[in-house]
A and B are shown apart, each in its own frame.
Chain A
Amino acid sequence: MSHLREDDLILHYYGESADRAAVEAHLGACAPCRDSFAGLRADLAAVADDPAPDRGEDYGPRVWRALQPRLPSRTAGRRATAARWWAPAALAASLVAAFVLGRHFPTGPSPAPIPEQGRDRIFLVMVGDHLERSEMVLLEVVNAEGTGTVDVHSAQESAASLVSANRLFRMNARQAGEPGVASVLDELERVLIEVAHGPSQNGPEERAQLRRRIEGGDILFKVRVLGSRLRSKEKDMAVPGTAS
């Protein structure tokens, strides 16, 4: 009697045998194959599922808030200049700017639409500001001194507030084919999350560990370099005729 192959048993286990009745008949008559199938079942039963972390009841609206600025206009069609990675978020930046202006000058005349290049500049300034604030938070953590525990609560709050913006910038960069920028932002986000979710009272050991994590990946250096590139780009855009 020829025996069933392991692949046949795997398909049978998942209920995808081409001829289920034939496999069952064989298993009924063949002890070695029956043993093998029992072994397979036992092995696969060991692969259990990890429950996903609970997102909370407001998760749907949170997903929508993060998604909405990234949705392309359904009427405008796709722009040919998709390679500019900051473009979608630049639109968001102009909306933020319009909102802020509206709040401060609610009775004034309606502002004229912000030109595309102006939006790009606003966005570059926003990312530059984000990188500077991130750098300050990381420096605060790295430079925390003391022999006992140090309260890093304020740095944690700042880090938590930077994570969402970082995510938006990073995803735009990745989508527009800027892996270098996305990679730095990805690394930065992981560190920010680590700071935000760490203990608020850091002992010397925890501080040293976090410092090693930050300094080990050269994230501060990378953030500075990226910030410098963006500032330079923003200055170029300020001079007519030099914008890319």
Chain B
Amino acid sequence: MERMDGRDDDTETVARARAGDANAFRRLVERHSHNVFRLAYRMTRNEHDAEDVVQETFLRAYRSLHRFEERSHFGSWIYRITANCAYDSLRARERRQEVTEPVTTDAAADGPVARMPSREPAPDRLVFGGEVRRRVALAMGRMSALEKSAFTLRHLQGMSIEEIGRALDLDASAAKQSVFRAVRKVRDALGRDPGLRPTP
């Protein structure tokens, strides 16, 4: 997992920021902005929204500095706030677009995997690389804000399901189910074209 911790000098800077030193908080902002933006962009896939998330993240962090536990890593803490802000941004976008796609549980997909068709990779999938990317994008578009957030954090960011739950204010079970649903949507999107999903 890509992390922003490992900066030993954060501890002292955070302590100063907590004591009201605005200059110390400025240093934290300048130090972590790039990583916060990268995570925000990864989750929102939109430059404009990611910039808003960066601002909102540091604003929330500033307001919550008194709740930051000094033994924690500031980088991990700011990551969690970023994930939460990005999730809010995705939900806001969902509302703006009035996407009413219901979150469904595919009972069939809960069955034994032996019932699923074989999904062996084959060279012809490479030929359809552009189409695969398009379908993955389609699947991401079909995900709810929660599914997209949980999946991105698990699959691309490498966060554990427990960490995802903490970041998105969910219990671990809800985070896990969101990842499952997201993965099924990806597989559904990839599985419809025989050219993309060679049969055994």
Q: Which residues of A contact B (CB under 8 A)?
A: 2-7, 9-11, 14, 16, 32-33, 35-50, 52-53, 55, 59-61, 63-64, 66-68, 70-72, 74-75, 167, 171, 183, 189-190, 193
Contact A42 B111, CB 8 Å, known A47-B136, A52-B38: no
| B90 contacts across to A, CB distance below 8 A | none
Within the complex, which residue of A4, A16, A71 is in contact with B59, where a contact is CB–CB below 8 Å? A71
Q: Could you write out 16 A-B pairs with CB less than 8 Å apart? A: A3-B112, A4-B113, A5-B112, A6-B113, A35-B119, A38-B119, A42-B119, A42-B120, A44-B186, A46-B132, A46-B133, A59-B34, A60-B34, A63-B30, A71-B62, A72-B62
A49 and B48 contacting across the interface, CB-CB below 8 Å: no
The B contact surface, by secondary structure, is: helix
A43 and B55 contacting across the interface, CB-CB below 8 Å: no
Within the complex, which residue of B55, B114, B176 is in contact with A33, where a contact is CB–CB below 8 Å? B114
A46 and B48 contacting across the interface, CB-CB below 8 Å: no
Within 8 A of A (CB), among B88-121: 96, 109-114, 116-121
- Write out, one digit per residue, whether chain B residues 125-165 have a CB within 8 A of any chain A CB (1) or not (0): 10000001100100000000000000000111000110000
Within the complex, which residue of B29, B45, B48, B187 is in contact with A63, where a contact is CB–CB below 8 Å? B29
- Write out, one digit per residue, whether chain B residues 48-64 have a CB within 8 A of any chain A CB (1) or not (0): 10111011101100110
Number of interface residues of B (CB under 8 A): 58
Within the complex, which residue of A3, A53, A64 is in contact with B47, where a contact is CB–CB below 8 Å? A53
| A70 contacts across to B, CB distance below 8 A | 55, 59
| A3 contacts across to B, CB distance below 8 A | 112-114
